[in-house]
Structure 1
Amino acid sequence: MRFFEHQDTARGETRRLLFFFALAVAATVLGVHAALAAAWVALAWLLPGRLPFPAAFFAVNVGVTLLLVLGGWWIETSNLRMPGGIERLARRMGAREARPGTSYAEQRLCNVVDEVCIAAHMPRPQAMVAPRAEAINAFAMGWSEDDAIVAVTEGALDWLTREELQGMVAHECSHIHEGDTHLHMQLAGMVLGLELVHHFGQTVRERGGLGWVFGMAITVMGLFGWLAGRALQAAVSRQREYLADARAVQWTRSRDGIGGVLRKAWAQQRAAREQGAPHRSPWHPALHHMLLVDGGARGGAWLDAHPPIAERVRRIHGRAMGPLPLHPVAHTPQREGARVSEATAPAVEGPFTPA
């Protein structure tokens, strides 16, 4: 895999999409004003006499719309900026701190996090585990490298080899190192602000009379901005997944690590479909963009926060490959090493090579 080439491509696509996101916000603000102006002109045409635009019509329309967009962004992000906000969100997603002293599997996770951070030359994030989550998955959160967390599911600890766990952790650490976790939370705040414009229009419309006319104008433009924001947020997320996959290969020097994770997660999803049970996610759909693989919510390809697993695998391995069979990983002192020595110094094992 030409991981540097894939990284440059993903970064370039991200910059282009962020430019379009800014255009979508500007178009929503100006579109609300244009829609209200059109409604006012139509009203003036229907009513007798001259009906000029009110004073500061443009300034009020643009100012209120911007207030809603930026207010939603501020509300969404300020909650997470509070001390402990990131950890509280992770706990709401069902994660807890890793307990290396009581579990060889979680000791292995902590060692792998240490190894990847050495290779990436980055501070060590807090390692967390989502117990009772059987699906192979993981997520990362944090405004910066200094307050970040990396969480993996219990299913990942049960089904992934050490090499694959390295690939999974390297993928999540890439999101932190590249600032993806910060970017995702900023975009989520902006999307919430665009959604508030839509809801504000619905509130005005419910007043009836002339409020219905002007509320409908705001609702339509707010819906356009909200959907455009969600689509562009998802497109940015898909590019950052490609970037994190390439980073994982770079840091671990192994395609089979992150590639094996994706192929096993693919096998889980396929098995669930064959059994007639939908692959449901225990997490709220609004948080799916934080996950390693799609949490199961399908809003159409243009709203998916993750590329298809088959395409990600093809990019990693350079050719199409199918799902991998699932075999539980045995966690024993012989396989993991003595707990005392593991706790004192992380050992670089297997195909992992710091870069």
Structure 2
Amino acid sequence: MRFAESQREARAQSRWLVVVFGFAVVLLVLAVNAAVALGWVLTGPIWLPGEIYFPRHFWAVNTGVTLLFVLGGWWVETSQLEHQGGVRLAQRMGARAAQPSGQLDEQRFVNIVDELAIASGLPRPTAMVVARDQSINAFATGWDTDDAVVAVTRGALDHLTREELQGLVAHELSHIGEGDTRLNLRLAGMVFGLEMIYRLGQRLMEPGERGGRLVWFVIGVFLMAVGWLGWLAGHALQAAVSRQREFLADARAVQWTRSRDGLGGVLRKVMTQQRERLSTNAIGSPLQHLLLVGNEAGRLAHWLDSHPPLAERVRRIYGRTMGPLPLAKPATAVGDPTVIHA
């Protein structure tokens, strides 16, 4: 695997996609102005004699309200996520603190987190476990390195060897070191802001006592259409950024551990779980982009998937196509520091 080349490519793609994300907001503002203008024309002035007119400051007010909803929604959602902190957000995803004193596999996990944090030069993140999830998965979250959390599922602890668990933790530490956790939370806030235009359209379409009912209904229909397209574009761009950051974290994990079979083995075992449909996912859909492996379902999953295909990730790691690996519960190695002595 060409570490430097893979990392440069992923970073460049990420920067470009974030610029496109901002461009999407500009297009949304223009689309909202066009939608409101069309709604205004269709519900009145077009049927009256004379030239079509718009109220004073029509365009400025439309632009200001649109930015207020988009940027205001982004600020509210981002502030809420930041206020929750890494631990509280991980708890929202079903995680609890690791319990090394009573669980050998959780002791091993905590030891690996400590080792790789030292090796990478990062502050030690909080180690947590999603005990109800039998799939092989993990995530990192937190606003900065001092607030970071690395969490793994019960399935990862049960089915991965120490080398594979090292690759898994290294991948998540890469997300923390590269600032991906903060970027993901900001992008989630921006997608929420784009969704606010759709909600505004819904609100305008609701029955009310005010006059001009037809005007507001027509404008609401157009705003819902524009808002849905804006949300769809924003979600697709968020997923595209996330896919590039996954490639970057994969390359970092292999570089830090000096082992393709670590993270590569994890992904190949996930392929087995998905093929045999053995996974039972407990982590909710709104936070899919934080996971090592997404579990989205539905018609739009292929287009809005926040993770690259497993086969492509494995191919990039090994330089060739590799098949699934059988699931196996690791045995405690001789001299493993996870062994607790009485």
Common topology (TM > 0.5): yes
SS in 2 for 1:228: helix
Partner of 2:227: 222
What residue is the counterpart of 2:261 in the other structure? Answer: 256
- Alpha carbons 2:240, 2:306 under 8 Å: kept: yes
Q: What residue is the counterpart of 1:303 in the other structure? A: 304
Question: Distance between the aligned counterparts of 2:145 and 2:28, measured in 1?
Answer: 33
Instruction: State how many pairs are aligned.
Output: 335
Query: Counterparts of 2:280 and 2:225 in 1: how far apart (Å)?
Result: 32
Distance in 2 (CA, whole Å) between partners of 1:338 and 1:163 is 16
Q: Tell me which amino acid in the other structure corresponds to 2:233.
A: A
Q: What CA distance in whole angstroms lies between the structure 1 residues aligned with 2:82 and 2:40? A: 41
Contact 1:14 1:240 in 2 (8 A): yes
Q: Decide whether the 8 Å contact of 2:194 with 2:234 is kept in 1.
A: yes
The Cα of 1:25 is off from its aligned counterpart by 0.8
Structure-2 residue corresponding to 1:56:
57
Matches within 5 A, 1:1-16: 1-16=1-16
Q: Which residue of 1 aligns with 2:330?
A: 329
Q: Unpaired segments of 5 or more residues in structure 1?
A: 274-278, 342-355
Q: Aligned equivalents of 1:76 and 1:280: distance in 2?
A: 29
1:234 paired to 2:235: no
Residues 177 and 242 of structure 1: CA distance in aligned 2, closer, same or farther (over 3 Å): same
Tell me by how many angstroms 1:333 deviates.
7.9
Matches within 5 A, 1:144-223: 144-207=144-207, 208-223=213-228
Q: TM-score, normalised by structure 2?
A: 0.93
Distance 1:213 1:48, change over 3 A: farther
**Unpaired segments of 5 or more residues in structure 2?**
208-212
The one-letter code matched in structure 2 to 1:242 is F
- Contact residue 167 and residue 258 of structure 1 kept, 8 A: yes
Structure 2 counterpart SS, 1:99: coil
**Equivalents in 1 of 2:93, 2:77: separation in Å?**
17
Partner of 2:105: 105
* Residue identity in the other structure for 1:8: R
- Name the residue aligned to 1:247: 252
Show CA shifts across 1:175-220 (max 9, x none): 1100101001000001001111011112212344111111122112
User: What is the distance in 2 between the residues matched to 1:332 and 1:100?
Assistant: 17
> CA 1:252–1:219 in 2, change beyond 3 Å: closer, same or farther?
same
| Equivalence for 1:26 | 26
**If the length of structure 1 is used for normalisation, what is the TM-score?**
0.90
RMSD of the alignment, in Å? 1.8
Does structure 2 conserve the Cα–Cα contact (< 8 Å) formed by 1:140 and 1:148?
yes
CA contact (8 A) 2:24 2:230 kept: yes
In structure 1, what residue type is equivalent to 2:250? Answer: D
Secondary structure, in 3 states, of the residue corresponding to 1:109?
A: helix
Q: Percent identity?
A: 57
Deviations 1:244-267 (A, max 9, x none): 000000100111000000000110
